[in-house]
Amino acid sequence: MNMRLALGFCVTALLAVGCSTDSQRYCERRDECNTFIFGQNVDDCVRAMDRAFEDASPSEADDTQRVLADCLALESCDTFNGCVVGGRNDLAY
């Protein structure tokens, strides 16, 4: 499965070992910033992220984890959402 497609699914429809903390934080941040569509929640997001990371190659997972960390470092929801959806296509579809 294409990593961009898998993570895009997670972002619009809603980690391998060692990445679950970032996955959980990412999904909780999406919840804080009200970016889930109706009916989605943190648990759904984490499950989708975990599947996406499991399907990714090691280099894809590493690259995406770096993008997650960069986006999570942004303080406001507007900049976080812009990072995920705008300039960081790795996490948006």
Determine the Cα–Cα distance for residues 56 and 75; give it in Å rounded to an integer.
28
pLDDT at 91: 52
Is residue 92 scored above 80 in pLDDT? no
> Which two tokens mark 67?
């993008």
Residue 35: pLDDT band with limits 50, 70, 90: confident
Read off the tokens for 86. Answer: 């705008």
Q: What is the DSSP letter of 59?
A: H
Average pLDDT value for the chain: 76
User: Average of pLDDT values for 76-86?
Assistant: 85
Cβ proximity of 72 and 26 under 8 Å: yes
pTM: 0.67
